[in-house]
Amino acid sequence: MGQLIAKLMGIFGNQEHKVIIVGLDNAGKTTILYQFNVEEIILRKTHFLMWDIGGQEALRSTWNKYYSKTEFIILVIDSTDRDRLLTTREELYKMLAHEALRDASVLIFANKQDVKDSMTTVEISQFLTLSAIKDHPWHIQGCCALTGEGLPAGLQWMLSQTTAN
């Protein structure tokens, strides 16, 4: 369980950042990781270790085993899946309350923006009440994992967070 997907994106000094990718099954996590291959240039000064820890219900209870030393949580959302946004919301707040994730920044990918009638980032932000999250830096980015659109912008935000502190 929990497949280590290490993407070496270049190493700058000893900078190494652990990223966990979470989200319900079918959100687009695997597709996003596949696209990250093309992000080497943008991120060549930073080395992100990406963990895709699976999203099926049975796996979600194991997420906390992977939290230690995590600097970034990438939460991938299927923006077409209105029915399960509540579940995502519950999982998000559970994670944010976890001690091991106290210092983690959260990047939310509102994926599948190419699909007509998908929820917008504004709708998702409101539903997840992101503006109420004061104790973690967070950012929401619309994307399409199939084309990669939006992914560089999300990763740039992560990069800006690594240099911010």
Q: Which residues are annotated as a binding site for Mg(2+)?
A: 30
- 70 interacts with ligand GDP by CB under 6 A: no
Q: Which does 154 bind (CB under 5 to 8 A by kind): ligand GDP, Mg ion, none?
A: none
> How many whole angstroms separate alpha carbon 47 and alpha carbon 158?
12
- 130 interacts with ligand GDP by CB under 6 A: no
Is 161 in the active site? no
- Number of residues counted as binding Mg ion (CB under 5 A): 2
> How many whole angstroms separate alpha carbon 125 and alpha carbon 15?
31
Shortest approach of ligand GDP to residue 18 CB, angstroms? 19
Residue by residue, DSSP assigns 13-64 as TT-EEEEEEE--TTSSHHHHHHHGGGGTTTTTT-EEEEEE---SHHHHTTGG
CB of 9 or CB of 27, closer to ligand GDP? 27
**Residue of 3, 15, 35, 56 with catalytic role:** 56
CB of 29 or CB of 60, closer to Mg ion? 29
